[in-house]
Amino acid sequence: MSSNVALMRTAKAANHPNRGYIIPIGGAEDRTENPVILRRFVELCGGSNARIAIIPTASSLTDTGDLYKSVFSSLGVDPCRISILAFATRDDCRKRRYLKVLDRADGVFITGGDQVRLVEMLSATQVAAKMLSRNANGMHIAGTSAGASAMSAQMIASGKTGITPRVGIVELAAGLGLVDKVVIDQHFSQRVRLGRLLMAVAALKTQAGIGLDENTAAIIAPNDTLEVVGSGTVTIIAPSNLRIGGAASADDVVNVTGIHMHILVAGDMYDLRSIT
């Protein structure tokens, strides 16, 4: 086992052999100079032959979809094979033309913005169900910033900055459910979000936390092994015999014990099957 491999198992068979990759990205990914994360996504989707659907719903900006279409085109994808699914209402999520795009797509890219806005638009719709079923049968899904947070079954909806875990530092909400063993946070080191991720893991108890730095991705393979790509770190907080205590009121500090924390860099791997 090489020194840059963390908690990998080599003998266990894949849990979901037909599933597509899940790629949460910590935001602010390099799109021009060395777009290693976006290039990897394009390669997984089939390179120049890829069909990519962009969902910019989390963003309040009108040109976000066009921006990513330009980026993927610069990486060799035929612009005619790139679709922008700009869902403006929940009724849009029932439209046949959008569902047909997802039927043909090799990959979906969910942009950043506001994860609450994104989930309120998509949750419990035909589009959300289609994304889950297509991912289960090989379509890859990447999401950056808010698009990464929304992947969790229970997501971080909002929270405060800080290293220290405190009462009330994080607010959780239902996410899209693309991953169910982890809760994901983004812009992690840059916005000092360790405290809120610790409290999210403490609240959920059976789920691990993944904190993604900017320009950093966790590429989760069909066998539930995670590979780090990008220039920053991925922090993994895994509950072992988790206990919290020592506080009662809002903003009180909390003690958190019984966790394992791993800080991984590009090339490192982690086996999500080790989470019980």
* Class of domain 22-274 (CATH, top level): alpha beta
Instruction: Reply yes or no on whether 120 is catalytic.
Output: no
Q: What are phi and psi of 117, to 5 degrees?
A: -60, -45
Instruction: For residue range 186-214, list pLDDT tens digits in order.
Output: 999 999 999 999 999 999 988 999 999 99
Strand partners, 140: 107
**Statement: residue 7 has pLDDT above 50:** no
- In terms of Cα–Cα distance, which of 235, 253, 254 is closest to 189? 235
**Which residue in 59, 145, 149, 152 is the catalytic one?**
145
pTM exceeds 0.85: yes
Q: Which residues, 6+ apart, have CB-to-CB distance to 207 below 8 Å?
A: 152, 154, 180, 181, 182, 183, 201, 239, 275
Q: How many CA atoms lie within 13 A of 220 on its CB side?
A: 27
Q: Which residues, 6+ apart, have CB-to-CB distance to 246 below 8 Å?
A: 252, 253, 254, 255
Instruction: Reply yes or no on whether 29 is catalytic.
Output: no
Q: What share of the chain is helix, strand, coil (3-state, %, to 5)?
A: 30, 30, 45
Residue 15: pLDDT band (50, 70, 90) is low
pLDDT at residue 16, as a whole number = 76
- In terms of Cα–Cα distance, which of 5, 45, 40, 61 is closest to 216? 40
Chain mean pLDDT for the chain: 93
pLDDT at residue 10, as a whole number = 32
What CA–CA distance (Å, rounded) separates 104 from 97?
Answer: 11
Strand partners, 83: 53
Instruction: Reply yes or no on whether 140 is catalytic.
Output: no
Instruction: For residue range 99-132, list pLDDT tens digits in order.
Output: 999 999 999 999 999 999 999 999 999 999 999 9
**Which residue in 83, 149, 214, 227 is the catalytic one?**
214
- In terms of Cα–Cα distance, which of 196, 145, 205, 149 is closest to 176? 149
Instruction: For residue range 249-268, list pLDDT tens digits in order.
Output: 889 999 999 999 999 999 99
**Which residue in 59, 83, 149, 187 is the catalytic one?**
187
Q: What residue spans define the domains of the chain?
A: 22-274
